[in-house]
Structures are given as structure tokens and as C-alpha cells.
């Protein structure tokens, strides 16, 4: 049994950040392009170095995003195939597309996530951030920053985009956590992971199917309506692909932002000198947000599949081989980042890979950065004395996630006048 392969495939590994960092550091040092053979999974190449990850991402003609997207056990793959009539995925989103098809589907919503449109949303997002600052005030001098603030704020922003009421938040959060964080038994409950995967995917697909039908019947000017009524080449996209698209927005649209928000707060609390610098000079916020993204790396990996033989780092990748792009490892690469295990709010340059690279770079990256910047500004202007009030805990995952608890203390700032 390969201990490194087993550790990487174990969702519990990321719940011990020092252990996880040490594992990835060892891989970068000993075999940065490594053939992994965890028990119960199909084997794959692990891409651990920044330069190699960028090379694979930039050759989207050779390394495709489908059919394998994330690390799931063979049993789960078999359950999915049984439920879908032979497909390897429960859905089909822009994460599963390549080439001209990917560009066409991505183009349907890309304008909504670009800076000109986001400027129109800034006032609404700021209002939501102020709500959660007020929530912190109402909670007194302490809260669980994850459970009380970080999981809700980005979700409320997505509801704004989809024109859904705030009352929809609890159900969407439950569906998202069951789907994205299904490997953490404390979140989704007991049961074989392969059954949980299919059940949670079907449940959230049922939810978005109702959203799709309602917007198809009575479209508005929201993002859900854009997707429900979308056409490519003059023809409506299929209901399945529209629902898959909505599922991606409903889940990925807030999960990674909440993970970065909470993880970034923890980094500030563990580095009080950086917190003090940021609170004294909020013009440092954009750089601080980028460092939080590097530091947290909320998406742990995506897979690519080679369609032809290719040489990478002196190794021969064969057609049909899978490659795991390991973003946290690339974001700690000692050849790219000076002192990579130090959190520096003014790190320059900071070419982190958190949003991916190339044609599959994250569609919502500008929105995510704006959300984090706005909330942090509101928090830092209204509170000081920020500190840990207990032990943080992390979601058990191999794909995406971050903290699941972050107890903090704070006090309301006394404003001049």
C-alpha cells in the first residue's frame, strides 16, 4: 500500500493543515509528478508543481476536463453510472466541457460576472455585508464566524443574483453542504459515501429543476432566467444542461467564497501583525484578499484527462491517463513563492492558482474577490480586538471546502464623535 497515495485520498488529511502541508511539501520535493494508486480509486498522476499545473491548464487541447472531474471512489463511480445509464457524472456543466462548446456555454453568463456588471451589484452586496456586521453586534462579543457569518454572506449574494428570497438560504445551504461536503460524516450523516453522492446530487437537481421551470415559464432579468432561457446557435440549451448550469451557480457560487472568507479570517487572527497592518491601512485589502485565496486554496483539485501522449517533467503521460491538478500544492511551491508558509497581506508577486488558469479559469473570480473585500472592510471598520476564542475545525474533504467552525471574539469599535 502506498502511504502517500492513501493520505492524499483520505478526506481526514486536510483536517490537519500541518500534516496536509507536510504531505504536499514531501511530494513536491521527492516526486512532484507522481503516479498515485490509492486503494479503491482509479490511479492518476498528481501534478504538484506550479509550472506543471499551468502547463497542463494551458494545453486544453490535450488535457480535457471530462470525463473525470474530481477524485471519487470506484464504488461511487459505479453508483453514478447506474443512476445515469452509464455516465460518469450526475450533471454536465461548463466544468465538464471543452473547446468551442465550453466557450459557448461559458459565454452565456460571463457578462454577469465581469466588472462592469458587478459594479451595479456593489451597493446590494454592501448592504448584505452590513447585515452580517449587525448580526455580529447582536451576538455580543463572540460568534462562530463560519456558522454565523461566512456560510451565509456569500450565499445571500448568490440569492441576489438569482432573484431568490433570503428565506431560501437555509435549504440551499443544506443542499450544498450535502452535495459538496458529502465526505464529512458530521455534516451529511451516516451512510455509504456512494449512496450519499447519488442521493445528494439528485436532491439538489430536483431543487434546481423547479427553479428552471419557474424561470422558463416567467423569465425575469436575473441570472437564473438567463440560464433557463439561454440559446446557443439559435437553439435552446437542453433542460438537463440548464439545470446543471444552475446547480453549478447554486453550489460553487458561494461555497468556495465562504471557505476563503473564513480561512482568511483565521489567517489574520493567527498573524496579528498582519491584521494590525490591514486594519490601519484598508488600501491593502485587495492584496490581502489575494493572499487569502492563495493561503486557503478552497478547491483542492480538478482532474484532466490526456487525449494523446505527452511528456511532462520528463515523464510520459499516456493517452487516457488522468491528472489531478493540486492547487494547494502549487500555491505553496517554493520555486514560485518566497517564504510560502508565511501569510503576507502585501505579497508581490502573488501568481496563485486558486482560480485555475487558461480557458477554465474561475468564472466568478471577480465576484468572489469583491465579496470578500467588502465584508472584510465592514468588519475591520466596525470591530477590533479580533481574536480566536477556541479551536477551529476543518471539513473533511478531498475536493473543496475549508473551516467548519471558527470561534472568535471581538469588540465594537468606538468611532470618533
β-strands 44-47, 322-326: how paired?
parallel
Question: Tell me: the pLDDT tens digits for 184-212?
Answer: 555 555 554 555 667 777 888 889 999 99
Using the Cα atoms of residue 271, residue 273, residue 275 and residue 277 in order, give the sign of their dihedral. Answer: negative
CA distance 121 to 70: 32
Distance CA 295, CA 340 (A): 9
| Cell numbers representing residue 72 in the block | 471519487
> For 320-406, where are the E strands, in sequence order?
322-326, 383-388, 393-394, 403-405
Helices assigned H by DSSP within 163-270: 169-180, 185-188, 193-217, 223-228, 239-270
Note down pLDDT in tens along the chain; length 417 residues: 799 999 999 999 999 999 999 999 999 999 999 999 999 999 999 999 999 999 999 999 999 998 899 999 998 888 888 877 777 777 788 999 999 999 999 999 999 999 888 999 999 999 999 999 999 999 999 999 999 999 999 999 999 999 999 999 999 898 888 877 666 555 555 554 555 667 777 888 889 999 999 999 999 999 999 999 999 999 999 999 999 999 889 887 788 999 999 999 999 999 999 999 999 999 999 999 999 999 999 999 999 999 999 999 999 999 999 999 999 999 999 999 999 999 999 999 999 999 999 999 999 999 999 999 999 999 999 999 999 999 999 999 999 989 999 999 999 987 655
Q: Does domain 3-408 have CATH number 3.40.50.850?
A: no
Which SS3 state, helix, strand or coil, does residue 151 take?
Answer: coil
CA of 407: how far to CAs of 30, 74, 146, 237, 293, in Å?
Answer: 37, 37, 8, 45, 21
Q: Which grid cell sits at 5? A: 497515495
Q: Which three cell numbers stand for residue 382?
A: 466596525
pTM of the model: 0.94
Output the CA–CA distances (angstroms, integers) from residue 325 to 54, 87, 218, 320, 356, in the order listed: 9, 22, 41, 16, 9
All 3 cell numbers of residue 151? 456560510
Rounded CA Rg of the chain: 21
Q: Cell numbers at residue 31, please?
A: 516526486
> Is 309:316 a contact under the CB 8 Å cutoff?
yes
CB atoms within 10 A of CB 103: 13
The C-alpha cell that represents 346 in the structure block: 502585501
Q: Report how far residue 128's alpha carbon sits from residue 134's, in angstroms, rounded to the nearest whole number.
A: 10
Contact 310, 59 (CB under 8 A): yes
CA dist 187 and 207 (Å) reads 19
User: Over the stretch 54-73, which tens digit does the pLDDT of each residue have?
Assistant: 999 999 999 999 889 999 99
Distance CA 89, CA 317 (A): 24
**Residue 181 to residue 188: CA distance in whole angstroms:** 8
Distances (CA, A) of 298 to 83, 142, 143, 171, 293: 29, 25, 22, 22, 8
Q: Domain segments of the chain: what residues?
A: 3-408
**190: helix, strand or coil:** coil
How far lies 387's CA from each of 142, 179, 301, 409, in Å? 10, 32, 31, 5
Rounded to whole angstroms, how far apart are CA atoms 96 and 360?
Answer: 10
The tally of CA atoms less than 13 A away on the side-chain side of residue 66 is: 15
Query: Which run of H or E residues covers position 121?
Result: helix 115-138
Maximum Cα–Cα distance for the chain, whole Å? 69
Q: How far apart are CA 340 and CA 404, in angstroms?
A: 24
List the beta bridge partners of residue 305: 64, 322
CA distance 161 to 222: 6
Amino acid at each position: 500500500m502506498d502511504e502517500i497515495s492513501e493520505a492524499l485520498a483520505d478526506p481526514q488529511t486536510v483536517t490537519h493543515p500541518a500534516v496536509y502541508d507536510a504531505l504536499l511539501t514531501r511530494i513536491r520535493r521527492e516526486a512532484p509528478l507522481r503516479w498515485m494508486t490509492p486503494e479503491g480509486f482509479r490511479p492518476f498522476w498528481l501534478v504538484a508543481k506550479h509550472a506543471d499545473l499551468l502547463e497542463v491548464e494551458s494545453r486544453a487541447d490535450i488535457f480535457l476536463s471530462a470525463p473525470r472531474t474530481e477524485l471519487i471512489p470506484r464504488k461511487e463511480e459505479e453508483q453514478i453510472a447506474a443512476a445515469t445509464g452509464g455516465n460518469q457524472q450526475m450533471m454536465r456543466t461548463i466544468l465538464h466541457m471543452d473547446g468551442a462548446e465550453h466557450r459557448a456555454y461559458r459565454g452565456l453568463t460571463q457578462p454577469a460576472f465581469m466588472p462592469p456588471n458587478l459594479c451595479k451589484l456593489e451597493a446590494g452586496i454592501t448592504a448584505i455585508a452590513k447585515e452580517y456586521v449587525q448580526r455580529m453586534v447582536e451576538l455580543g462579543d463572540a460568534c462562530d464566524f463560519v456558522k454565523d457569518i461566512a456560510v451565509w454572506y456569500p450565499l445571500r449574494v448568490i440569492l441576489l443574483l438569482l432573484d431568490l428570497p433570503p428565506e431560501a438560504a437555509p435549504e440551499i445551504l443544506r443542499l450544498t453542504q450535502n452535495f459538496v461536503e458529502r465526505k464529512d460524516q458530521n455534516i451529511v450523516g451516516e451512510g455509504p459515501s456512494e449512496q450519499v453522492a447519488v442521493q445528494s446530487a439528485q436532491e439538489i437537481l430536483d431543487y434546481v429543476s423547479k427553479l428552471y421551470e419557474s424561470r422558463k415559464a416567467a423569465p425575469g432579468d436575473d441570472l437564473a432566467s438567463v440560464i433557463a432561457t439561454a440559446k446557443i446557435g439559435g437553439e435552446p440549451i437542453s433542460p438537463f444542461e440548464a439545470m446543471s448550469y444552475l446547480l453549478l451557480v447554486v453550489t460553487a457560487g458561494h461555497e468556495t467564497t465562504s471557505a476563503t472568507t473564513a480561512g482568511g479570517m483565521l489567517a489574520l487572527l493567527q498573524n496579528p501583525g498582519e491584521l494590525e497592518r490591514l486594519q490601519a491601512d484598508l488600501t491593502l485589502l485587495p492584496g490581502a484578499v489575494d493572499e487569502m485565496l492563495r493561503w486557503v486554496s478552497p478547491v483542492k483539485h480538478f482532474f484532466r484527462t490526456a487525449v494523446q501522449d505527452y511528456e511532462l517533467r520528463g515523464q510520459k503521460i499516456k493517452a487516457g491517463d488522468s491528472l489531478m491538478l493540486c492547487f494547494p500544492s502549487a500555491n505553496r511551491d517554493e520555486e514560485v513563492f518566497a517564504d510560502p508558509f508565511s501569510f503576507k497581506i502585501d505579497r508581490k508577486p502573488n501568481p496563485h492558482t486558486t482560480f485555475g488558469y487558461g480557458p477554465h479559469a474561475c468564472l466568478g473570480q471577480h465576484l468572489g474577490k469583491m465579496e470578500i473585500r467588502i465584508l472584510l472592510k465592514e468588519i475591520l471598520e466596525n470591530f477590533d480586538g479580533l481574536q480566536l476564542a477556541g479551536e477551529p475545525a476543518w471539513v473533511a474533504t478531498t475536493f473543496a471546502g475549508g473551516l467548519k467552525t471558527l470561534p472568535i471574539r471581538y469588540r465594537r469599535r468606538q468611532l470618533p464623535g
